[in-house]
Amino acid sequence: MRAEGALLSIPRRRLRILVLVGASWLALLLGLVLWWAYVVLQQGERIAELEVTAGLARGEALVGRERVHNMLMWESGAFIVILLSATAVLAWLYYRDSVRNRALHAFFAALTHELRTPLAALRLQAEAIAEDPEAPPARHASGRRLLDDLSRLESQVERTLELARVEGGGRVLEEPIALEPLLRHFCATLPESLAGRVALHVAHTRSDTRVLGDKVAIQLILRNLVENAVRHAQRNKVELIMSLEHRGSGVTLHCMDNGAGFEGNAARLGTLFYRGERSSGAGVGLYLIKALMTQMGGAARFDSARDHGFEAVLHFREAAA
């Protein structure tokens, strides 16, 4: 299976952290109880000795010691009960919040998955309209616009589904992938709605370059980069150049376009739902790129300046020869 963790399960890493934190907290509480009991006994004995030294009869001193013991035990017991109750309430609130979040992720995943079938049917109808030889030119133009809108909607549904999967703890594969042939295949199979608005170029690289990653995730990353370039380039046709570079034990993929660049805080690019003032996107695409690269053991960095284009730098781990 592609995703090892389901949307309704807690990711293993998070579960291990929760178990470790819970065990540490219980150990701390146990240590606190033992320390408090020791202090209570020591203080009771000390008070009794002081009372005997002050001339109080030993019997009265013992009664006073028991009274002090009882007072301290009741106070410490009440404190520990309050502490345990607060811990239980926090644990319950966290559990309820986790259940709610997992249910929300599952809802979005199911919704976006169910949207695929009607979108596919709409695409067939739109293609029939656009390719009908007997239809007037105006209908052909409407069919092409409908196909473009459907492509954007399908891409948004795909991003939403992937976002729900990533946020729900889904995993990616880590297998050796020949990156340069994958880039060229992606360029050759680009959907018509994008191919007419972007010119993709893959700089000459070593064809035997292999990285560790998930082929589906890498294709989604590339598609998001192309759509981002087309959406924000402010050109009829944008040029996107992809080149590979070996750095140490890794491989870096540079994706540079000649668009209008980004107007805003470039350091925040890749933050969920962050977008520029004039952006028409949702702020999900670059976040997904960063999240998927992190899951594959790599990293993503974005750089952009007004009128100087946009660059995505993706660092992959190189597969062993």
CATH value at residue 275? 3.30.565.10
Q: Are residues 166 and 207 in the same domain?
A: no
- The per-residue pLDDT for range 1-46, each reduced to its tens digit, is 343 333 334 455 666 777 788 778 878 877 877 787 777 777 767 7
As a whole number, mean pLDDT of residues 271-279 equals: 66
Average pLDDT over residues 211-236: 82
pLDDT, residue 279, reads: 60
User: What is the DSSP secondary-structure string of 201-252?
Assistant: EE----TT-EEEE-HHHHHHHHHHHHHHHHHHS-SSSEEEEEEEEEETTEEE
The predicted-structure confidence for 60-83, as pLDDT tens digits, reads as follows 666 666 776 777 777 777 877 887
How far are the Cα atoms of 66, 70, 72 from residue 52, in angstroms, in the given order?
A: 14, 19, 20
185 and 276 share one domain: yes
Last residue of a domain, one of 138, 170, 202: 170
User: 203 in a domain, yes or no?
Assistant: yes
- Considering 45-54, 162-171, 299-308, the range whose residues carry the highest mean pLDDT is 299-308
Report the alpha-carbon distance of residue 166 to residue 161 in Å, rounded: 9
Residue 17: how many other CB atoms lie within 10 Å: 11
Residue 258 and residue 159 share a domain: no
Q: Tell me how many domains the chain contains.
A: 2
> Does residue 103 have a pLDDT over 50?
yes
Same domain, 153 and 34: yes
User: pLDDT higher for 13 or 291?
Assistant: 291
Give me the pLDDT at residue 6, please: 35
Share of the chain above pLDDT 90, in %: 1
Q: Which residue has the higher pLDDT, 64 or 174?
A: 174
Same domain, 118 and 232: no
Residues 81 and 228 in one domain: no
Mean pLDDT of 227-246: 79
Mean pLDDT of 211-215: 87
Q: Is residue 4 part of a domain?
A: no
Q: What is the pLDDT of residue 3?
A: 39
pLDDT for position 5: 37
Find how far residue 147's CA is from the centre of its chain.
Answer: 30
49 and 129 assigned to the same domain: yes
| Average model confidence (pLDDT) across the chain | 75
Kindly state whether residue 187 falls inside one of the protein's structural domains: yes
CB within 8 Å of 307: residues ≥ 6 apart: 260, 261
pLDDT above 70: residue 204:
no
Note whether 190 and 141 are same-domain residues. Answer: no
* pLDDT at residue 194, as a whole number: 74
Domain boundary among 120, 139, 170: 170
Q: Which residue has 């993706």 as its token pair?
A: 314
18 and 154 together in one domain: yes
Q: Give the global pTM.
A: 0.59
Same domain, 123 and 62: yes
Least confident of 21-35, 57-71, 206-220, 276-290: 57-71
- Is the same domain home to 18 and 144? yes
Does residue 224 register a pLDDT over 80? yes
Average pLDDT over residues 101-130: 75
**2 in a structural domain:** no
Instruction: Give the integer Cα–Cα distance in Å for 309 and 275.
Output: 16
Highest mean pLDDT among 20-29, 159-168, 258-267, 280-289: 20-29
Residue closest to 154 by CA, chosen among 112, 192, 188, 126: 112
Answer yes or no: is pLDDT of 255 > 80. yes
Structural domain boundaries enclosing 147: 11-170
- 129 with 241, same domain? no
Q: Give the domain-ending residue among 113, 146, 170.
A: 170
